[in-house]
Every structure is written in structure tokens, then in C-alpha cells.
Amino acid sequence: MVPSSWLQLSLRTDPSALDAVSNFLIERGSPGVVIKKNEVQAYFRYSDENGSIKRDVQRFLRGIRSIYPAAGDRSVRWRVLRERNWNHAWRRFFKPQRIGRMFWVTPPWTKAPAFRRRKVIVIEPGMAFGTGTHATTRGCLEFIEEVAERIGNGRRTALDVGTGSGILAIALAKLGIDKVVALDNDATAIKVARENVRANGVGDRVVLSTAKLAHLRNAFPLIVANLTAETILDLAGELEKRVVPQGYLILSGILKPKAREVSRHFCATGFRMLGVKQEKEWTTLLLKRSLLWRDFSSQKAISKTSTRKSPVKS
């Protein structure tokens, strides 16, 4: 059933920023956008949670201002549209997408083309980030398919920080990860993610939680964090502690001017860069934690006579 009320956003910005802004608004839950000469109009389902959408839009605009100076908060207008019959017309904005070598991402009302080797991820466009259309989501999915099979034998686990719609946690589960812990501090996102997890039949593998990263006790062989550069740097210490030696860390939501700062920080704290994906103004990083002497000081594999202090090459 289509809701009778919608929240309309009108945003005037630099024409060169229209694509980036539109992608973000769709990923944040808008079923579709209307693009004019130098304006984007987006629509969100009206609810008590619209305050978090407004805050996210403000943060995003501040984040891209170094690239697009005209993308300012003053150009944003919000209004509520009531009793309008949308007749599901917004569904035309969402079609199945082929991502990387392994995935089809599709809304529930459209059947993805049949490819035996591809995993189908069904995502209901809603009020949570992650429908597969954004460059950051695609970058994470492409790196996930590269490293999921490398993370060892036995019970394989992963952590998704800022899960949004749950798309990355679902992808990990569909690639055979036994347990995925998916965190988000937005209760609405967790609700949307839970519905998507159920629709994809991976409820036995994905654990959704609003717990803080600092409250987790376990370390993981693979962590994905599709956030912002600022949030990643704020959480850097907690992220570093929760990657096992020789574990993988995928970071995204990073605007190109911030990519060097983020990579430099993690490479100075025991990680090495394995890959970088760039699409327009967005950067996704793949890092691997080094096998440090201090991590294995109590294991017999380390010679008692060795005096080396530098990292062991993996």
C-alpha cells in the first residue's frame, strides 16, 4: 500500500553535482528523483523518522562541499505532500542491476535474469541506505566477492558496520559466510534490513543489532564499513582492534579528497593496501591487516631467538 503522504526535497546545486546528489538520495531511500537543469527533487515516505533523513542530507552536502562548493544547506527545501495517489509509479526507477561477477540486485517486484553463477539479492527500496545503485555499495560488493572465499576454514564470520538496508550483510551470507554481524545505530535501518534479510532467506546467518562497535568482543576475518571518511576515522581504533591478523577491511563512503588521509592512517597502523576502486568522486578501499610479531608473541611459530621487530610479510 502506497502511503498517502510524502516528504519532498528540492535541492538546487551545481549541475556537475546532480549525479552524485541523485545517487545519494536514491540510496538513502527515495524511490526516485526528478532532475531539472540545476535542481534535484526527491521524495521520501513520510514518517516519524524523517528527521534522520534530513540530518543525513545535511552531512552529505557538507561532505561534498570541497568538490562542489555550490552544494550548500541553504539551497535545500522540504515540504510535505499529502493525499497524492502515486499508483506505484516510482517503481520504474528501480530495475535489476548486475554488479561485479557474482551479483544481481533486484527489487522484489522484478525478477532478475537467470544466470546460474550469479547470486540474486532482493532489496526493497525504503528508508535505509543501500539499494545497489550507489558507487560505494557497488565498490563494496565487488571487493566482497574478491575476498569472501579467502577468509579461512572453519566457521567463517564477518562484520558489517553501518548496514543500512542490509545489502552487504546479505551478500556476505549468500557467498557462504556462516555468521554476519550487521550493526546500525538507526532503528529504522535495522527494521528495513530485517525485512530484506528475511526476503533473501539468510536470517539464520545474519545477526542485526544497534549495538555500538566498541561493545563487540569478537574479532573478524572480514569487516566492511560503508560510512563516511569522517566516521571511519572516528571509529578507526575500534575497527583496527576487530580485524584479526591477516584479516580484511573494506572501507567506503569516502570522497576522493579524503581517500589519501584514510588510507594513510590505516597503513600506518598495521594494514597494507590491496586495492582501490574509484567511481566518479567516490573511493572504496581494500586493506589487509599485517601479521605482526606482537600478535603472535605467545605462539610457538615465532622463534625465541629472533630479534626482528618489523612486520612479517604475509
State pLDDT tens for residues 259-293: 999 999 999 999 999 999 998 889 999 999 987 63
Report the pLDDT averaged over residues 60-72.
Answer: 79
Q: Do the strands 220-226 and 243-255 form a parallel or antiparallel pair, or are they unpaired?
A: parallel
State pLDDT tens for residues 173-184: 999 999 999 999
User: Rounded to two decimals, what is the model's pTM?
Assistant: 0.74
Please identify which residue in the block is written with the cell numbers 550493526: 183
State pLDDT tens for residues 215-226: 999 999 999 999
Work out the percent of the chain whose per-residue pLDDT is above 70.
83
